[in-house]
Amino acid sequence: MITQTPRTPPGPLDHLEVGRSILPASAYTEQVAFDSELRDIFQSRWVWAGFEHWVAAPGSSRPITVAGQPLLLARDSDGTLRVFHNICRHRGIVLSEEPSTRKRLRCPYHYWTFNLDGSLCGTPYWDRTKNSGPDEQTRAQLGLLPVRHTVWAGMIFVHLGAPCEPAEDLLAPLTARWAPYNLDSVRLAEERQYNIDANWKLVVENFLDFYHLPFVHPQVGSASAVLDVEDEVLSPDIIGACYPRGVTTKASGKAGSALPLLGDIPEEMRTRQDIFCVFPNALVFLEPDFFQVIACQPVAPGRTVEYMAVFVAAEAGADRHPEAGAADRYAEARESACRVLFGVNDQDVPILAQLQRGRSSPSADRGHLVSHWDQITARFQTLVAEATGRH
Ligand code: FES
Ligand SMILES: [Fe+2]
């Protein structure tokens, strides 16, 4: 039972009396619960939508799906990134189905064309004559519909709902905590996409479950080291944990030449590992020399797509050495770190499917959250319960 609502006050960790799971098993399996989470969470808050490097080049675009809605990331020729509803303004067909480097996107149905700033440019046979088009006022009203968005630490967040708090306010606790890190200039080391046979909430809960680390991922360090973790609540929406003393072997790219630090990081922060969920769907893991993101998009009650990316300091990025014409001196360290980090995630994939299968049994409702370990899970479930009106 929750004895104190974690939303007030935010900040220091108030110990929760936990016991039975706050969310019933049906919240992980039923379509009605899934639909309400899309509506009340994913369409009503800031959510992770994609990586900025997906549209790195001016003149590139990429369709994405957020909360079941087709969106379009587009960077126009002057480098401005925008997010649109990926819907043709004529008959509502999905406009773009593939990543593209075309300066104009052409609707497959009647060949209207749109610039990457969203403006409508071509409307063939508008009035049944060649080269005709709408008057300027009509044309101006028929641009692609924009989506509120922000870019932070290489990630694109969108808000599909009504006016809301600025994303900067939501992210402020992390921005302050990570001030010494140059997260705006990190470079991709590697990314992978995973199709997960589990509800999106299990992906988040598993990321916030530090208890399983020595058992599912014994390679990451001794049990005493991996369990030396402290719960952290930076705000109602940013919850996770910190390894203040580090787990030295965790991403041991540290064998061989080390990766450069992600900034001018003070000595006392150099052994620190931070692991946070930016509610609902951005899972971030920061060490002094790498930044890992696992973001999830719900597809169905038992199906989630995970986008995992590992970033390193600009000078150690995988794209760096060819242009410099020099040897890639960080290749070994970068690849070693990625091998460990993706290896850990690979081990979680079958666990997630097994957790999901467990929720088809009524016995799953008799699970017991442990006060010593499941505080952050309880907070996450409480956030979901509050947002969807289950409280
Ligand atoms: S639906 Fe796109 S041009 Fe008609
Ligand atoms: Fe895990």
Residue-wise pLDDT tens digits, 125-181: 999 999 899 999 999 999 999 999 999 999 999 999 986 799 999 999 999 999 999
Q: Give the domain extent around 229.
A: 25-29+183-387
Task: Tell me what pLDDT residue 376 has.
Answer: 96
- Write down the pLDDT at residue 137: 97
191 and 317 part of one domain: yes
- Asked whether residue 138 is domain-assigned, the answer is yes
Same domain? For 222 and 308 the reply is: yes
Task: 119-123: list long-range contacts, CB under 8 Å, 24+ apart.
Answer: 119/143, 120/89, 120/144
Q: What is the 3-state secondary structure (H, E, C) of 315-365?
A: HHCCCHHHHHCCCCCCHHHHHHHHHHHHHHHHHHHHHHHHHHHHCCCHHHH
Q: Looking at the structure, do residues 224 and 355 belong to the same domain, yes or no?
A: yes
* Token pair for 218: 């014994």
Separation of CA 209 and ligand 2 centre (Å): 7
| Residue 190 included in any domain | yes
Q: How far is ligand 2, taken at its centre, from the CA of residue 219, in Å?
A: 11
Q: Is residue 14 part of a domain?
A: no
CA 59–ligand 1 middle distance (angstroms): 22
Question: Sign of the CA dihedral 318, 322, 323, 328?
Answer: positive
Compute φ and ψ for 226, nearest 5 degrees: -70, -20
Q: What CATH code is carried by the domain that includes residue 144? A: 2.102.10.10
Residue 168 lies in a domain: no
If asked whether residues 367 and 307 sit together in one domain, one would say yes
- Residue 161 domain-assigned (yes or no): no
**Residue 4 located in a structural domain:** no
Residue 19 lies in a domain: no
Q: Which atom of ligand 1 is least distant from the CA of 91?
A: 1
Nearest CA, atom 4, ligand 1: 110
Mutate which of 88, 104, 106, 142 for ligand 1 pocket (most atoms within 8 A of beta carbon): 88
Q: Which residues of the chain have pLDDT under 70?
A: 1-17, 163, 247-257, 319-327, 391
254 and 137 housed in the same domain: no
Residue 204 Cα to ligand 1 middle (Å): 39
Q: Are residues 241 and 383 in the same domain?
A: yes
Number of CB atoms found within 10 A of residue 211's CB: 15
Q: Tell me the CATH number at 210.
A: 3.90.380.10
Say how many domains are in the chain.
2
Say what the pLDDT of residue 329 is. 87
pLDDT score, position 8? 44
- Any idea which residue has 């944990």 for tokens? 241
The per-residue pLDDT for range 113-133, each reduced to its tens digit, is: 999 999 999 999 999 999 899
Q: What is the pLDDT of residue 148?
A: 96
Look at residue 15 in the predicted model and tell me its pLDDT.
65
